[in-house]
Amino acid sequence: MLPFPAGGSFDPIVRALAEAASKDLGQAIVLMHKPGGGGVTGTAGIATMSEADGYTLAVMHNSVIRAPLVQKIAWDPRRDFTYVCRLFELVTGVCVAADAPWRTLPDLIADAKRRPGEISWGNVGAISANRITAERLARQAGVRFNMVPYKGGGEAFTALIGRHLDVYGDPGFGAQVQGGKVRLLATFTAQRMRRYPDVPTVRQYGYDYVIESPVGLVAPKGLDPKIGLRLQEAFRKASQDPVYQTQLELFDMGHGFADGEAYAAYARAQYDREVRMLAEIGFKPE
């Protein structure tokens, strides 16, 4: 289960991984798209499944972990999933169209100060870590952007390149930047990216924000540990597949495979971090 529309950066990455894992498992893996809720709905669907047989998996990301803190839901990400494995790391950047007037992040901030609320900033979903971090950045800089949620990265990049959106602050920018359609102003990474040595980090501009955003696989709760280990091993081998690794590089995603136990521990710790982060911006649940 892929909780985003077809055509975004997740699509070719997860498809390449699934094709590699299917060879080891000896059966096809069918990729199903179920977008909605900022990438939460599709994954949430398996939290309430009564049967865990290993045949239904979903892509997990931090918005799913955050979901109970921002809306009323009947499941808990700490208890209602079996964490199979952690796959890769999303890398978040601040992008504008190649012909946009801003050459650097300070240029953008300065213009936002002159025109409060007029510059649009897009993210996938209304409750993503990238959206929340953008709000925190704006607060610290003393500016206000018009925040616009999108269903998927493909839709957002189309709007950005067509100049219907001013700024896009999510992962998956690699192909667009390398194709010359998009300009990367800064990244929310701890260090500059090797592929873009001339692009500063947001931290280097004086805003101490680094976004850690892993993606993994989960199954319904109660999965037989033997089945979980079999799946984990298949996807561990698949993570070394050259086609999959090429897709990660193309979209500037980071390697980050870890076993299910480590991924579950991360999810529990991230839940507590989300509580603190939402309190910082004064967020009130729906």
How large is the angle between the packed helices 260-280 and 62-70, nearest 10 degrees? 40
Q: Within a 13 Å sphere around the CA of 171, how many CA atoms are in the beta-carbon half? A: 23
Give the whole-number percent of the chain exceeding pLDDT 90. 72
Helix (H, G, I), strand (E, B) or coil at 249: helix
Q: What's the CA gap between 164 and 90, in Å, rounded?
A: 25
Q: What's the CA gap between 188 and 171, in Å, rounded?
A: 10
Alpha carbon 209 to its chain's center: 16
200 DSSP assignment: P
Sheet holding 146-150, edge to edge: 146-150, 120-124, 167-168, 93-97, 182-187
What does the pLDDT look like over 181-206, one tens digit per residue? Answer: 999 999 999 999 999 999 999 999 99
**pLDDT at residue 38 tops 80:** no
pLDDT band for position 39 (cuts 50, 70, 90): confident
What does the pLDDT look like over 135-172, one tens digit per residue? Answer: 999 999 999 999 999 888 889 999 999 999 999 999 98
Structure tokens at 104: 């650097």
Flag the least confident range among 59-68, 91-100, 137-146, 214-223: 59-68
What does the pLDDT look like over 73-117, one tens digit per residue? Answer: 899 999 999 999 999 998 999 999 999 999 999 999 999 999 999
Residue type at 8 in one-letter notation: G
| Mean model confidence pLDDT for the chain | 92
2 DSSP assignment: B
